[in-house]
């Protein structure tokens, strides 16, 4: 039986040392292709089981966690792995795979690939819908047909997000640890020889209330398009365990329902995206030149943005200037001029 996930502050920690945070962000326009929007703080996360008197019975049966989200609010998922050990993570939107567009599965698949490889994939902002692009995760109510789940299955039964982690087989993990120890030892020798320059950084540290109505559940629809790659797994499929280490169901809660269930105030409504850009604050580009972008899913490519159901997005928008888009990873940096020599 799979181990239980846990909550560390607002981070969901899955077996296999996988850490997932849910990040508030700016909603993109549904036309054009955009750089990566910024993170604007974490969504608060609570365990459903902590509210047996106020959470809907169906949610209590599914277990998992919940977080408050506004209508048409965007989010992205930030990933980490304690000690940097490789892991595989499946991400579902209404039990539709956000990577392959296939129905949710309890096993890893490569035809097409239905999971992310960590720590190579640092985050996921949306569904894998285009070559080198994703469509942003945007919260919408169930029952309209606007969710990815509704568009690809014809039903809106599950909503929310689903996460499931897999680890390497013990012998493969032991071999990886030995290689990593040798690599770190080599780096340490180089650091000692050259006075510490170039040394690898240390790893990142990683009440009674009225019963809420189940009908206020939210699901994930598709928003604007941004430049982001979903990386292909370079390991043989046999490297991974055949069964999941753990999983968690993430319920998306409307702000009024959050107050009713938890007694807490939800975060304030999302930031004005035009005001953010006018203030000169940064957007981002990320590229890993050693990674291979996974081919987009035909099913996910066919998903229509939520504006087809909710109407045109009239929120003010201002395109960021080129100098506001900051490179991350292997993205091109500031050019260095050459001269005569």
Tens digit of each residue's pLDDT (9 = 90 or more) over 58-85: 999 999 999 999 998 999 999 999 878 9
299 pLDDT band, cuts 50/70/90, is: confident
pLDDT score of 207 more than 70: no
Residues comprising the chain, all counted: 341
Q: What count of Cα atoms within 13 Å lies in the side-chain half-sphere of residue 25?
A: 30
DSSP secondary-structure letter at 240? B
Q: What residues pair up with 327 in beta bridges, in sequence order?
A: 285
Q: How far apart are the first and last CA of the chain?
A: 66
Other CB atoms within a 10 A radius of the CB of residue 123 amount to 17
Most confident of 138-142, 271-275, 276-280, 310-314: 138-142
For residue 213, pLDDT over 50 is answered with no
Distance between CA atoms of residues 177 and 315, nearest Å: 49
Cα–Cα distance between 137 and 76 in angstroms, integer? 7
Q: What is the mean pLDDT of residues 292-319?
A: 76
At residue 340, the pLDDT reads 40
Strands (DSSP E) found in the chain: 6-8, 11-14, 18-24, 33-34, 46-47, 65-68, 74-81, 87-93, 116-118, 123-124, 126-130, 133-141, 161-167, 218-227, 246-253, 283-287, 325-329
Give the pLDDT confidence score for residue 328 in this predicted structure: 66
What local confidence, expressed as pLDDT, does residue 67 receive?
96
Quick one: pLDDT band at residue 193, thresholds 50, 70, 90?
very low
| 272 vs 172, residue with greater confidence | 172
**Measured at the alpha carbon of residue 54, what is the angle toward residues 52 and 55, in degrees to the nearest 5?**
75
Residue 83 backbone zone (phi > 0: left; psi -120 to 50: alpha; other: beta)? left
Q: Span 168-180, mean pLDDT?
A: 92
Q: In this predicted structure, what is the pLDDT of residue 329?
A: 63
List, in sequence order, every residue forming a beta bridge with 29; answer none if it has no partner. Answer: none
Euclidean distance between CA atoms 327 and 331, whole angstroms? 5
Cα separation, 97 vs 229, in Å, equals: 16
Q: Which letter, b or e, does each residue of 67-84 get, where b requires 16 or more Cβ atoms within 10 Å of its Cβ?
A: bbbbebbbbbbbbbbbee
Could you tell me the two tokens for 261? 């269930």
Residue where the block lists tokens 């990683």: 206
Comparing 99 with 314, the larger pLDDT belongs to 99
pTM of the model: 0.82
**By mean pLDDT, which of 169-173, 187-191, 306-310 is the weakest?**
187-191
Coil vs helix vs strand at 303: coil
Work out the pLDDT band at 247, boundaries 50, 70, 90.
very high
Strands (E), 132-282: 133-141, 161-167, 218-227, 246-253
Q: What is the mean pLDDT of residues 181-205?
A: 52
Lowest mean pLDDT among 25-29, 221-225, 329-333: 329-333
* Pick from 37-41, 98-102, 318-322, 337-341: least confident: 337-341
Which stretch of 21-30, 84-93, 110-119, 157-166 has the lowest confidence by average pLDDT? 21-30
pLDDT at 90: 97
| 3-class DSSP assignment, residue 296 | coil
Mean local confidence (pLDDT), 117-139: 92
Rounded to 5 degrees, what angle do the CA atoms 156, 157, 158 make? Answer: 105
The phi, psi pair for 57, rounded to 5°, reads: -55, -35
Q: What is the mean pLDDT of the chain?
A: 82
Give the pLDDT score at 338: 36
Record the tokens describing residue 41, joined without a space: 């703080």
> Per the structure block, which two tokens stand in for 291?
């990674």
32 in helix, strand or coil?
A: coil
Tens digits of residue pLDDT in 269-290: 776 666 666 656 666 665 565 6
């Amino acid at each position: 039986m799979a181990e239980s996930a846990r909550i560390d502050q607002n981070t969901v920690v899955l077996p296999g040392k996988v850490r997932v945070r849910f990040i508030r962000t700016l909603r993109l326009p549904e036309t054009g292709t955009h750089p990566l929007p910024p993170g604007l703080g974490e969504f608060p996360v609570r365990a459903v089981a902590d509210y047996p008197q106020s959470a809907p019975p169906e949610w209590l049966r599914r277990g998992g966690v919940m977080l408050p989200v506004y209508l048409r609010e965007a989010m992205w998922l930030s990933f980490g792995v304690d000690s940097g050990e490789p892991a595989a993570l499946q991400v579902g939107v209404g039990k539709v795979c956000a990577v392959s567009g296939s129905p949710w599965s309890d096993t890893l698949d490569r035809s097409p690939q239905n999971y992310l490889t960590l720590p190579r994939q640092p985050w996921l902002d949306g569904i894998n819908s285009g070559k080198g692009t994703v469509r942003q995760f945007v919260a919408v109510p169930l029952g309209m047909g606007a969710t990815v789940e509704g568009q690809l299955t014809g039903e809106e039964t599950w909503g929310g997000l689903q996460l499931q982690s897999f680890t390497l087989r013990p012998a493969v993990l032991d071999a990886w640890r030995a290689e990593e120890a040798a690599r770190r030892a080599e780096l340490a020798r180089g650091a000692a020889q050259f006075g510490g320059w170039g040394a690898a950084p240390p790893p990142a540290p990683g009440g009674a209330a009225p019963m809420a109505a189940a009908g206020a559940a939210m699901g994930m629809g598709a928003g604007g398009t941004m430049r982001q790659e979903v990386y292909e797994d370079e390991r043989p499929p046999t490297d991974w365990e055949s069964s999941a280490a753990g999983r968690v169901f993430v319920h998306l809660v409307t702000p009024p329902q959050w107050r009713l269930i938890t007694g807490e105030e939800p975060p304030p409504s999302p930031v004005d995206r035009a005001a953010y850009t006018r203030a000169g604050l940064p957007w981002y580009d990320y590229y890993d030149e050693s990674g291979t972008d996974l081919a987009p899913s035909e099913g996910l490519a066919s998903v229509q943005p939520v504006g087809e159901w909710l109407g045109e997005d009239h929120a003010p928008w201002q395109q960021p200037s080129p100098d506001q888009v900051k490179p991350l990873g292997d993205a091109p940096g500031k050019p260095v001029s050459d001269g005569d020599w």
